C-alpha cells in the first residue's frame, strides 16, 4: 500500500484486481417499470478532456432522476420496495414489478410509516416515494442543513413529510431517527448508511444504485468505449462508492477501472478511515457540498472502500464551486456535490495521475450526482 504524502489524499493503486460479490438483481427492472424512468444522460466533454490532458471525459448527469434533482431516488425506491415486500410477503420475497403493485402491497401493510435522516436528497426521495405509495413519512435533518439549505427542508415538506430538525450533526441526526423508529413497530427506518446491526436496508439502497452503473456501461458501449479507465465518485457515507466498487470489482467485471472517492475537506471521513486503516469518525463543519457532509462511513460500505478504492481525495468548497461553473459551461447542471467529482479529478491528475496510469489515452467517467 502506498500512502500519499499529500495531506488531503490517499493512494493505493491496483485495487482493481480485488474481487467482491456482484450486485443482486431486481432493482434495475423495478426502476425501468417506474413512471418517468429513463436513463440519465452521459455527457461527453471534449473541452474538459483536452484541458485535463486525458483521452475522453464523460459526465453522468444525475440532475434529473425520476423527477428529482439527484441520483438518490434509485436507492430509496428500491429499499422501500424491498422493505414493504419483506413486511407483507416475508423476508426474501421477490415483490411486485411495478409502482402500482407496490402501492397495493403497501395498503396491506397495516400501519406503516417511513422514517429517515438526511442531508437533503435522500430524505426528499424517501418522502417522494412515501407520497406515491400513500404512506406517511418522517424525515430528520441536521440543524446546519436546515439553516444553510432551507429550500431542502421545504422540498421535503412539499412531499408531505413531517420534518424534524435535530440540533446536532448528521451522525447524531441518524442516531435520533434510528431511536425514534426503534420505538414504534409501524415505523420502517429507510437509512442510506449502515452500522453494526443495521445493514439489511442499506444493502438494498446500494443495490438500487446499481442501475446507474448499468446505464453507464450501455452508454459507454454506445460511445465506442469498452471499459472506463477511471470513475470518480462523490462520497458522503460511501454507499454510492460501495455500489461503484461492487459494479467494477464484482464477479466477472473486467479489471482495470481506477476508482476514486472525493469528499469535502471538512467532512472527509472515508479519507480519514483509509489513512487510518480502520473505520473512523471525524468532526465535520458546514460545506456547500451538503449531501457529502457525513462524519462516519457506512459500516457496510467500509470493507468495499478499504479494499476496492484506488485513491481518495478531499476538495474545498471553492474547488467544487469552480468545477460546478465549469460543468455548467459544458451543459451539465451540476450542483456542488456533483461537481466535487471534477474537482477531485483535477486534484488526482495534478498529484498522481501517473501512479494511477491515467494520461492522454484514458477514458474517465465523473458522477455528477445532483443538479443545482
Based on CB atoms, which residue is closest to ligand PLP, 3 or 372? 372
| Contact yes or no for 84/95 (Cβ under 8 A) | yes
When computed from its CA atoms, the radius of gyration of the chain, rounded to whole angstroms, is 19
CA separation for the pair 58, 353 (Å, rounded): 17
Based on CB atoms, which residue is closest to ligand PLP, 336 or 353? 336
Beta strands (DSSP E) in 175-243 are 187-189, 230-234
| Shortest distance (Å) from residue 224 CB to ligand PLP | 28
| Shortest distance (Å) from residue 153 CB to ligand PLP | 15
Based on CB atoms, which residue is closest to ligand PLP, 53 or 283? 283
| Shortest distance (Å) from residue 322 CB to ligand PLP | 18
Residue in 258, 254, 228, 226 with CA at minimum distance from that of residue 241: 258
CA atoms within 13 A on the CB side of 23: 28
CA atoms within 13 A on the CB side of 29: 7
Cell numbers of 332, please? 451539465
Footprint of ligand PLP on this chain (CB under 6 A)?
70, 72, 119, 121-122, 192, 234-241, 291-292, 337, 369-370
Cell numbers of 112, please? 406503516
CA separation for the pair 298, 164 (Å, rounded): 22
Task: Provide the edge-to-edge strand list for the sheet that holds 56-61.
Answer: 9-11, 311-315, 258-264, 230-234, 363-368, 56-61, 42-44
- Residue whose Cβ sits closest to ligand PLP: 291
Residue in 245, 231, 242 with CA at minimum distance from that of residue 18: 245
Q: How many residues make up the chain in this entry? A: 372
In the residue annotation, 119 being an active-site residue is answered as: yes
What SS3 state is found at 333?
A: coil
Based on CB atoms, which residue is closest to ligand PLP, 26 or 236? 236
How far apart are the two ends of the chain, measured CA to CA in Å? 37
Task: Name the active-site residue from 61, 119, 192, 326.
Answer: 119
In the residue annotation, 60 being an active-site residue is answered as: no
CA separation for the pair 152, 173 (Å, rounded): 16
Cell numbers of 190, please? 429507510
Based on CB atoms, which residue is closest to ligand PLP, 279 or 337? 337
CA separation for the pair 198, 247 (Å, rounded): 22
Based on CB atoms, which residue is closest to ligand PLP, 287 or 362? 287
CA separation for the pair 128, 116 (Å, rounded): 12
Task: Name the active-site residue from 60, 61, 72, 310.
Answer: 72
Residue in 75, 98, 71 with CA at minimum distance from that of residue 85: 98
| Shortest distance (Å) from residue 249 CB to ligand PLP | 17
Based on CB atoms, which residue is closest to ligand PLP, 88 or 201? 201
Give catalytic residue positions: 72, 119
Amino acid at each position: 500500500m502506498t500512502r500519499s504524502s499529500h495531506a488531503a489524499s490517499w493512494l493505493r493503486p491496483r485495487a482493481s484486481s480485488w474481487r467482491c460479490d456482484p450486485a443482486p438483481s431486481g432493482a434495475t427492472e423495478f426502476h425501468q417499470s417506474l413512471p418517468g424512468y429513463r436513463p440519465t444522460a452521459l455527457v461527453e466533454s471534449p473541452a474538459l478532456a483536452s484541458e485535463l490532458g486525458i483521452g475522453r471525459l464523460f459526465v453522468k448527469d444525475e440532475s434529473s432522476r425520476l423527477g428529482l434533482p439527484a441520483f438518490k431516488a434509485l436507492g430509496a425506491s428500491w429499499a422501500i420496495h424491498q422493505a414493504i415486500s419483506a413486511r407483507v410477503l416475508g423476508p426474501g420475497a421477490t415483490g411486485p414489478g411495478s409502482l402500482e403493485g407496490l402501492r397495493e402491497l403497501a395498503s396491506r401493510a397495516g400501519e406503516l410509516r417511513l422514517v429517515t435522516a438526511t442531508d437533503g436528497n435522500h430524505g426528499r426521495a424517501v418522502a417522494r416515494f412515501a407520497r406515491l405509495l400513500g404512506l406517511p413519512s418522517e424525515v430528520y435533518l441536521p440543524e446546519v442543513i436546515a439553516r444553510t439549505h432551507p429550500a431542502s427542508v421545504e422540498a421535503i415538506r412539499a412531499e408531505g413529510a413531517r420534518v424534524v430538525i435535530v440540533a446536532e450533526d448528521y451522525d447524531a441526526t441518524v442516531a435520533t431517527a434510528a431511536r425514534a423508529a426503534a420505538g414504534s413497530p409501524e415505523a420502517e427506518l429507510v437509512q442510506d448508511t449502515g452500522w453494526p446491526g443495521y445493514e439489511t436496508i442499506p444493502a438494498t439502497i446500494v443495490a438500487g444504485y446499481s442501475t446507474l452503473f448499468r446505464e453507464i456501461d450501455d452508454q459507454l458501449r454506445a460511445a465506442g468505449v469498452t471499459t472506463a479507465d477511471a470513475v470518480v465518485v462523490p462520497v458522503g457515507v460511501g454507499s454510492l462508492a460501495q455500489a461503484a466498487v461492487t459494479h467494477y470489482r464484482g464477479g466477472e467485471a473486467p479489471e482495470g477501472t481506477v476508482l476514486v472517492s472525493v469528499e469535502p475537506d471538512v467532512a472527509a471521513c472515508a479519507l480519514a478511515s483509509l489513512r487510518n486503516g480502520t473505520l473512523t469518525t471525524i468532526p465535520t463543519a458546514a460545506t456547500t457540498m451538503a449531501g457529502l457532509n457525513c462524519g462516519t462511513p457506512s459500516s457496510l460500505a467500509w470493507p468495499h472502500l478499504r479494499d476496492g478504492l484506488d485513491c481518495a481525495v478531499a476538495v474545498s468548497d471553492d474547488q467544487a464551486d469552480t468545477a460546478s461553473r465549469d460543468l455548467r459551461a459544458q451543459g451539465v447542471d451540476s450542483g456542488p456535490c456533483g461537481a466535487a467529482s471534477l474537482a477531485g479529478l483535477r486534484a488526482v491528475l495534478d498529484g498522481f495521475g501517473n501512479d494511477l496510469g491515467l494520461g492522454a489515452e484514458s477514458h474517465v467517467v465523473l458522477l455528477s450526482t445532483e443538479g443545482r
